[in-house]
A and B are shown apart, each in its own frame.
Chain A
Amino acid sequence: MPTSASELVGWADTLLQGVLLGGLYALFAMGLSLAFGVMRLVNIAHGDLIVLASFAAIALGLGTGWGPLAAFLVIVPAMAALGYALQRLMLNRTLGGDALPPLLVTFGLSIVVQNGLLEAFSADPRGLGAGGLETASIRLTSGIAVGWLPLIVFAVAAAITLGLERTFGRTRYGRAFRAASDDPVTAELMGMSHRHVYALAMAVSLAIVAAAGIFLAMRTTVAPSDGPGYLLYAFEAVIIGGMGSFWGTWAGGIILGVVQGVGFRLDPGWGILAGHLACLAVLLIRPRGLFPRTRG
C-alpha cells in the first residue's frame, strides 16, 4: 500500500530530523548543565548569552566579511574569556549562601543582554550566511534527506559531550571541578582556588554557548528577545536527562528534539507544547530525570 509506505517514510524522516534538531538542543543545554553541576549556579541569562553569541557572529560577518569558521575561531575564545570574567568578577560573589542571589543577578544580566542587543541590532530577526552549507543535504532515500548543517551540529554536540565526560572523569582539572563542587573549602586546602576553578567552568560553559549560538544563527534567524525561549529548551533538556550527567543532558536534548518533531507532525501548532508536556511528564514520573548520575 503506497500510502502507508510513504507514511512510514514520513515518520522515519520526522524521527531523524528530531534527533538532529536535538543535537542543537543538547548544545544549548550542555553549558547550563555544566554550570549547575560545578557551581550549583542556575544561569537565567544562559539563553540570552546564546543569542549574544549569535549576534556577535552576525556582526563579525557583517564587519569583516569572514565566514562562519572565522566566527568559531574568534567568538568561542571571546565568549570563554567573557565567562571567566563574569564568574570571577560577578557571579562568584553571589555564591555560597542562599540560592536566590545568583538567580537574581543572572536574571538582571538576562535583561541587560536583551536590551543591549535590541539597542545595537534593533528587533529584526537576522541570520548568519553559511555559504550554502545551510541548505546542502545528503539524500538517503526517496523520501528522506539529511542536511549537512544539522548533521555537523549533531556530531559537534556528541563530541563536546564526550570531551566533557572525559575531562571530568579523567583529568586533573576534572577532579578539581568535582572537588570544588563537593566542598569548596576543602578544595582550597588542596591548593585549588575554587574561585579560579569556578571561573574556568564558566569559561567552558560559555565556550559551548558560543558554538551553540553560532550554529543557531546558521540554522535559523535570531532576534534579541529569543533568549528566554532557548533557556527554556535548555532547562527542559537538563530536566529530562537528569542532573549531573553530561550524557544524560545530551540524551535529554535529543529526546526534546524528537518529541517536538513528533508534535509538529501531528499538528503544526503542537510541536513546542509537546516538548513542554514531555518535560512535565518526566517531572511527574521521574523527578530526578531519566538518566540521573548514579554513584557508589
Chain B
Amino acid sequence: MSPLLETRALTAFYGDFQALFGIDFEIDAGEVVAIVGANSAGKSTFLGAVCGLLRVSASQVLLDGDPVGGLPAHRIAAQGIALVPEGRRLFPSLTVEENLLAGGYLGRSGEWNLDRVYALFPALRARRRAFPEALSGGEQQMTAIGRALMANPRLLACDEISLGLAPVVVRDLYASLGDVARAGLSIIVVEQDVSLAQRVSHRLYCFQEGRVSLVGVSLSLTRAEISHAYFGV
C-alpha cells in the first residue's frame, strides 16, 4: 500500500537558486511526522512544494500513489492537503469566523465545522467577530490551525506554529494538535524546537541545506545524532 503522501527526489528552485536537492519523504495515514532543521534548510520550501506553491514535476509528489506535483495550489487543496502557513497569514479584512469559513470554502465533507473548531479552541468562540489584528498571537495561531482544519483535510501541514509564542501557549497548541492527531489525521509538523518536535511526532526528518540529513523514529534518535544532522558538525 502506498503512503498517504510521498515525495521522490523532490527538487525545487527559486529562479536559478536551488533550494531542495532530492528530498525523499513519506507519511502514512494517521502518522505525525516532524521536520526539523536550521533556518534556510528548506523546510518551508518543502511544504510549499508539496502544497503547490512552487513548480515541481508531477512524479515528484505522490498522494495515495497518484502524481500531484505541479498542480496549482487550489487543486492540491481540493485533494485534501491543508497548510498552516508560516506567519499564520490570516485574512486581515475577515473576522475570525469568516477566516474559519474561508478555510471551508471547498466544502469537503468531514467531521470539521465551526462547532468542532470552537470546541477544540474555546477561546476563539468569544472572539469570533474580532478581526485578526485584534487577537493575541496564540489566538491568531488557533485561528490559522482552525482555518486549515475547516478544509477537512487528510493531511495537515503546520509550518512553525510555535514561532513568537509564549511556551505555555505553544504547549496548549500542541496539546490540541495531539487531540486532532489521535482522531486519526495525518500531520506534518515543521519545528525549530528539536525536543518539542521529538515529543509530538512518531517519526522525524532532519533537513540540512535542502537535503534530508537524518530520518528515524523520533524517540529512538539521540540528541547527538540530531545535532550532528542539524548543524552538520
Contacts and interface: CB of A to CB of B under 8 A. Distances in A.
Nearest to B89: A186
A85 interface: no
Contact of B74 (A172, A182, A183, A193): A193
A179 B77 contact: no
B180 to A, nearest CB: 18
Interface in A178-227: 178-179, 181-183, 185-194
A193 B73 CA distance: 8
Nearest to A172: B105
B150 to A, nearest CB: 9
A177 to B, nearest CB: 10
B112 interface: no
Given A181-B93, A183-B89, A175 B77 contact: no
Given A189-B85, A190-B151, A191-B78, A295 B101 contact: no
B82 A189 contact: yes
A296 interface: yes
Contacts of A175: 94, 98, 101-102, 105
B102 to A, nearest CB: 5
Nearest to A186: B89
Residue from B72, B73, B82, B134 with most neighbouring chain A CB atoms (10 Å): B73
A234 interface: no
B77 A188 contact: yes
B74 A192 contact: yes
A296 B133 contact: yes
Residue from B78, B91, B98 with most neighbouring chain A CB atoms (10 Å): B91
B92 interface: yes
Contact of B83 (A179, A189, A194): A189
25 contacts: A175-B94, A175-B98, A176-B102, A179-B102, A182-B91, A182-B92, A185-B53, A185-B73, A186-B89, A188-B72, A188-B73, A189-B53, A189-B73, A190-B74, A190-B102, A190-B103, A190-B106, A191-B74, A191-B77, A191-B106, A193-B72, A194-B74, A296-B130, A296-B131, A296-B133
Interface of B: 51-53, 72-74, 77-78, 82-83, 85, 89, 91-94, 98, 101-103, 105-106, 130-131, 133-134, 147, 151
Given A178-B94, A188-B72, A190-B103, 19 more contacts: A172-B101, A175-B98, A175-B101, A175-B102, A176-B105, A181-B93, A182-B94, A183-B91, A187-B91, A188-B77, A189-B74, A189-B82, A189-B85, A190-B102, A190-B106, A191-B74, A191-B78, A191-B151, A192-B105
CB-CB nearest 9 A-B residue pairs: A188-B73, A191-B77, A191-B106, A296-B131, A182-B91, A193-B74, A186-B89, A179-B91, A179-B102
